Amino acid sequence: MEFSSKLLENAVREMSQLPGIGKRTALRLVLHLLRQPAEQTERLAFALRSLRNEVKYCRNCHNISDTDLCEICANPKRDESLVCVVEDIRDVMAIENTSQYKGLYHVLGGKISPLDGVGPNNLNISTLINKVKEGQVREVIFALSSTMEGDTTNFYIYKQIEAYGVTTSTIARGIAVGDELEYADEITLGRSILHRIPFENSLKG
Amino acid sequence: MEFSSKLLENAVREMSQLPGIGKRTALRLVLHLLRQPAEQTERLAFALRSLRNEVKYCRNCHNISDTDLCEICANPKRDESLVCVVEDIRDVMAIENTSQYKGLYHVLGGKISPLDGVGPNNLNISTLINKVKEGQVREVIFALSSTMEGDTTNFYIYKQIEAYGVTTSTIARGIAVGDELEYADEITLGRSILHRIPFENSLKG
Ligand SMILES: [Zn+2]
Ligand SMILES: [Zn+2]
């Protein structure tokens, strides 16, 4: 792509550093900003810089938070003996959205992935182990994606905490509510049969 | 979407102002920036602000340019009697990429679209008319997209310049080179038959 302006080229190059944003899309976005009032670009730049420079993480669960302790951890109505281990804040938001969970979270910040150079020390794992060691936790719920990296991470944490007599569980996986069986992939369908639940339990919604 | 942080919420809101970027995508992009060194966010913010605040347009063709006259207009080898009218800089880049065009451009900055509140006065039309009036132009090539707005814009300009004896043309539209006829839409196929060219001309590549 040949640019008629260095300023334009720089803006497109920086924009296309973002994942899933190619040069063409970056150019479209940048030209859009040029057609809008300059204040929109100022607000975008300010919001991104403010977040990047001032971001804080909850000292208990590592969720992104403007306060030392996030709203979830600071809520006395939440059950702090229940800890749901997730990869990132999007998982917290998705689970919170269901209104079905009353425990706390532990945000790892990723999954163990030797290929990407992510080891246990790059993740928020030691603080989770410490919480379990200190005996505050009754149950650890693994809610990482069921990929090789997710399974590896679950197992790594499991081995470190099993000696402390904590209950461990993983979220149920199966056919999505309302989905037709014939369209489900084999592995999901297989698991959902293997991990079937008493019919009475399904009546609880 | 409920956010655990105002800083995060602001960044996602501003990012999702961009066209085609929903809240989920915006969140993904913003979380990516948080995992990268702060310098990446600084470079992005700086590049966007610099472009927005310092952008200049070529005084002849309105292409984005860091200089008063863009590289194309300043090139003595280009034929300044030939002017290709395009909607925006992406069209200039696409045509330049073919290396088939040796004239200059005129970037309108959009198309006439009453529904979107875009009238002739919101576009770089008067400078084009003036160029034609001054007798510098031999041929005006319309290269706007063949939509209702594109056709309206072409016709509006055409009516203003026809009295000055300038040649007007539109770029050829037809079946893309290499495409199967059966997959072409009817209108394109119809036009490409109507505007067929002598076979000898097709041999020139
Ligand atoms: Zn927290
Ligand atoms: Zn120019």
Per-residue confidence (pLDDT) for residue A164, from 0 to 100:
93
Q: Do A19 and A105 sit in the same domain of this protein?
A: no
Q: How far is B74 from chain A (nearest CA, A)?
A: 12
Q: How many domains does chain A have?
A: 2
Assess whether pLDDT exceeds 90 at residue A182.
no
Question: Within a domain: residue A91?
Answer: yes
Question: B107 pLDDT band (50/70/90 cuts)?
Answer: very high
Quick check: B14 and A55 CB within 8 A?
no
Calpha distance A36→A166 (Å, rounded):
55
| Rounded average pLDDT over A22-37 | 95
Tell me the helix, strand and coil percentages in chain B, rounded to 5.
Answer: 50, 10, 40
As given in the structure block, the two tokens for residue B181 are 């006829």
- Res A143 pLDDT > 70: yes
Which chain B residue's Cα is nearest to A109?
B35
Q: Positive or negative, the Cα torsion across A28, B63, B157, B77?
A: negative
Q: Tell me, what's the pLDDT at B204?
A: 61
Please give the order of strands across the beta sheet that includes B79-86.
B103-107, B79-86, B139-142, B167-170
Residue B202 has pLDDT above 70, yes or no: no
Q: Are the Cβ atoms of B32 and A18 closer than 8 angstroms?
A: yes
| Mean predicted confidence (pLDDT) in A9-28 | 97
Give the residue, A20 or A191, on which the prediction is more confident.
A20
Check CB contact under 8 Å for B40 and A17. Answer: yes
C-alpha count within 13 angstroms, C-beta hemisphere, residue A39: 1
Tell me: pLDDT of A125 over 90: yes
B81 and B11 in a single domain? The answer is: no
Structure tokens at A96: 């919170």
Looking at every residue in chain B, the average pLDDT score rounds to 90
Neighbours of A26 (CB within 10 A): 19
* pLDDT tens profile A168-181: 988 887 777 777 77
The CATH number linked to B12 is 1.10.8.420
Band of residue A199 on the pLDDT scale cut at 50, 70, 90:
low
- Rounded to the nearest 10°, the torsion over CA A181, A187, A193, A196 is -110
Considering the domain architecture, whether residues A118 and A162 belong to the same structural domain is answered as yes
Q: Is residue B129 part of a domain?
A: yes
| Pair (B108, B153) in one structural domain | yes
Task: Give the domain CATH number at B155.
Answer: 3.40.1360.10
Q: What pLDDT was estimated at residue A69?
A: 95
Answer yes or no: do B47 and B135 share one domain. no
Give the per-residue pLDDT at B106.
Answer: 97
Nearest CB among B31, B43, B47 relative to A88 is that of B31
Structure tokens that stand for B48 in this block: 């966007």
Of the listed ranges A8-12, B34-38, B46-50, B188-192, the one predicted with least confidence:
B188-192
Chain B interface mutation, best of A52, A88, A97, highest count of B Cβ atoms under 10 Å: A52
In B112-202, which ranges are E strands? 139-142, 167-170
Region B166-187: what's the mean pLDDT? Answer: 80
Q: Which ligand has the minimum distance to the alpha carbon of residue B92?
A: 2
In chain A, the residue whose alpha carbon lies closest to the alpha carbon of B24 is: A90
Kindly tell me if the per-residue pLDDT of A193 is higher than 80: no
Beta partners for residue B103, in sequence order: B79
CA gap B3, B14 in Å, rounded:
14
Are residue A103 and residue A131 in the same domain, yes or no? Answer: yes
Proximal ligand: closest to the CA of A59: 1
Q: Establish if A59 belongs to a structural domain.
A: no
Q: List the structure tokens of A5.
A: 């302006």
pLDDT at B94 over 80: yes
Q: Is A139 found in the same domain as A101?
A: yes
Mean pLDDT of chain A: 90
Domain range for B37: 6-54
Domain-located, residue B203: no
A202: confidence class by pLDDT, cuts 50, 70, 90: low
Residue B205 has pLDDT above 70, yes or no: no
Residues A16 and A91 in one domain: no
Average pLDDT over residues A30-38: 95
Task: Report the pLDDT value the prediction gives residue A84, as an integer from 0 to 100.
Answer: 94
- Copy the structure tokens of residue A76: 């006395």
pTM of the model: 0.82
Nearest residue on chain A to B61, alpha-carbon basis: A4
Q: Kindly list the residues from chain B whose CB atom is less than 8 angstroms away from the CB atom of residue A47.
A: 7, 10-11, 13-15
pLDDT in the model for residue A194: 77
Q: What letter would DSSP give residue A36?
A: S
- Which residue matches tokens 């016709």? B155
**Residue A136 half-sphere exposure, CB side, CA atoms within 13 Å?**
12
The pLDDT of residue A204 is 61
Confidence check: pLDDT of B179 > 90: no
Give residue B199's pLDDT band: very low, low, confident or very high (50, 70, 90): low
pLDDT band at A78 (very low <50, low <70, confident <90, very high): very high
Does B49 share its domain with B75? no
Q: Do A97 and A21 share a structural domain? A: no
Which of A10-14, B158-162, B175-179 is least confident?
B175-179
